[in-house]
Structure 1
Amino acid sequence: MTKNTHKVAAIGLGSMGYGIAMSALRGGHSVWGVDINADQMARFVEAGGERGNLADAAGELDTVIVAVLNAAQTEAVLFGEGGIVPKLRAGAAVLSCATVPPAFAKEMAARCAVSGVLYLDAPISGGAVKAANGALSIMAAGSPETFVALAPVLDSIAETVFELGDEVGAGSAMKAVNQLLAGVHIATMAEALTFGMTQGVTPDKFIEVISKCAGTSWMLENRAPHIAAGDYTPHSSVNIWPKDLGIVLDIAKDAQFSAPITAAALQQFVAAAGMGLGAEDDAAVAKVYARNAQLTLPGEET
């Protein structure tokens, strides 16, 4: 029987990770927040996170939530210099949330198993707001034992946990499918919105009408208002997409699958990053279209 409250390390306190850590805290768990940004760690402690050095508590942890940017950071957190896995007790569990290739997830699970540590391939979806509200969707794959071990934490941070079987990698594969659609939808939204501007359709009117028509999408309804407001404060940054769509295309290449629409969307995000927009909200991909069409977006000087 799994105990209802866990000792948790939440590694990565970015826009998603901080919300996840706070949701775990509200779920009654003892949570150590870890990040390279000392201010974020201090903020988390002030909100109720555990004080003190995580290394001193590592051997007592039940769960390690890894919500970092990519595979390289995930591996560094788990097995790099000062990595957490060798310090964990047998039976502790890693909840790995980053978007990574399925083969990488399998490798991490195998390396964790050497130490008797459980591993859940558990990429997330829902954005920063749902992370903060404990309402994420998690695409998860791992052994039945791992799901049982992590159930109390999953209940705290997720609205929906899709159990995709006991073969690690299945969660990451499903996340790749989701990211293909999400990235394409953002780029297509930006293309449609700026195309509308060439025809006298304002961004506000675009949102009012298209959000009620068949051409809408969750990404359109979530991101287009950022453009209309001229506010590119990053909820999810442009820089996420060259990584995530790059993973999709790497998987497609290995599967000998042609994904031309994904490739086209990827190039628009690469162009946005090349314009110096990488740290802006991913809706800023609209600026690529606006520049090419000599359009002035809301909030920009004429």
Structure 2
Amino acid sequence: MKVGVIGLGSMGMGAALSLLRAGHEVTGCDMRVSARDEFAAAGGGVAATAAELPLGTEAVVVLVVNAAQTEAALFGEGGAASRLAPGAVIVSSATMGPDAARALAEQAQERQLLFLDAPVSGGAVKARAGEMTVMASGSVAAFGAAEPVLGAIATKVWHLGEEPGIGATVKVVHQLLAGVHIAVAAEAMALGIRAGADPQALYDVVTSAAGNSWMFENRMARVLAGDDAPRSAVDIFVKDLGLVTEMARSLNFPVPLASQAQQLFTAARAIGQGGKDDGFVIRVWQAMTGIKLPGE
């Protein structure tokens, strides 16, 4: 299958490599030369812009930052839509609000293209292993056309309904949990450090007991290692928790925990940590209390 992947970040690169391993003819699109070079070295085709995707591309996976970038990559001047084969499927995997997903689906339909509202989860490691989770909604035809792509990039594909926007809704709710879990994991570790607990011992106890969460185990391991290289950056949760509060506001629904977590990630960005790994929201507590993090 002739597939384009727009956005060769931590998730997009993994998806592109997984598609390549599955035997698809894959072109990876990214403005960054380093990303294109990495994918080319693995044997994939590369393009600097969506307008350079091969004519007749049958499926395109869009793994950019947000809805605005998705729209520009697909339907903007020099977007991918003109390069797609008739009836091609768009797999829209950026995290966005449900209204934005529905609007993109309408634009795809106007061009007689299939659209799958298909946000993903799993992180860079699972993306490279082809083991992501996909939360998808769309027509039966869209699911059918996207099946070879989904089979290559994911081990779990949720069919959430035929209406675009449902996948986006589920992902926004998922990000509420993810963001709050990361923030509270950092708060707990920071409190333990301030109280004099050994950070490694604290980590070992929590990860063997009922208070553990996947986010505590994953993110606080990086804090213990002093590894703030961004797999998922602080800035991502400033954005994603903003989507949570926007969706909740439209429903007159209070989300106090998500709102507080967003403020903590915003504070981390304000002190220069926006591009760091999201577990390093812990540096907000460091800034306020003067604690010393492991490795410092």
Q: TM-score, normalised by structure 2?
A: 0.97
Give the 3 Å change call, closer, same or farther, for CA 215–44 of structure 1 in structure 2: same
**1:279 is matched with which residue: 275, 281, 291?**
275
**1:163 is matched with which residue: 152, 159, 162?**
159
2: distance between equivalents of 1:51 and 1:102?
31
Instruction: Decide whether the 8 Å contact of 1:27 with 1:153 is kept in 2.
Output: no
Alignment partner, residue 104 of structure 2? 108
1: distance between equivalents of 2:280 and 2:52?
43
Root-mean-square deviation over aligned CA pairs: 1.3
Matched, 1:73 2:99: no
Alignment partner, residue 55 of structure 2? 59
**1:7 is matched with which residue: 2, 6, 10?**
2
Give the 3 Å change call, closer, same or farther, for CA 12–51 of structure 1 in structure 2: closer
**1:44 is matched with which residue: 39, 43, 64?**
39
State the SS of the aligned residue for 2:158: strand
**1:182 is matched with which residue: 170, 178, 181?**
178
Superimposed CA distance per residue, residues 210-258 of structure 1 (whole angstroms, 9 cap, x where no aligned partner): 0111111110110001111111011110110110000000000000000
Larger strand percent: 2
Amino acid at match of 2:26: V
1:56 CA drift (Å): 6.1
Q: TM-score, normalised by structure 1?
A: 0.95
State the SS of the aligned residue for 2:168: helix
Query: What are structure 1's unaligned runs of at least 5 residues?
Result: 1-5
2: distance between equivalents of 1:126 and 1:60?
30
1:94 CA drift (Å): 0.5
2: distance between equivalents of 1:156 and 1:202?
42
2: distance between equivalents of 1:89 and 1:60?
4
The 5 Å alignment of 1:19-30 reads 19-30=14-25
Amino acid at match of 1:126: G
Amino acid at match of 2:44: G
Instruction: Decide whether the 8 Å contact of 2:190 with 2:285 is kept in 1.
Output: yes
Aligned length: 295
Greater alpha carbon shift after TM alignment, 80-89 vs 286-295: 80-89
1: distance between equivalents of 2:23 and 2:174?
31
State the SS of the aligned residue for 2:157: strand
Alignment partner, residue 90 of structure 2? 94
**1:256 is matched with which residue: 252, 272, 286?**
252
2: distance between equivalents of 1:281 and 1:131?
17
Matched, 1:266 2:228: no
Alignment partner, residue 187 of structure 2? 191
2: distance between equivalents of 1:87 and 1:234?
32
Superimposed CA distance per residue, residues 14-55 of structure 1 (whole angstroms, 9 cap, x where no aligned partner): 111101100010111000011010121122111010267874
2: distance between equivalents of 1:57 and 1:16?
19
**1:241 is matched with which residue: 234, 237, 243?**
237
Matched, 1:218 2:214: yes
1:119 CA drift (Å): 0.6
Matched, 1:124 2:111: no
1:291 CA drift (Å): 1.7
State the SS of the aligned residue for 2:174: helix
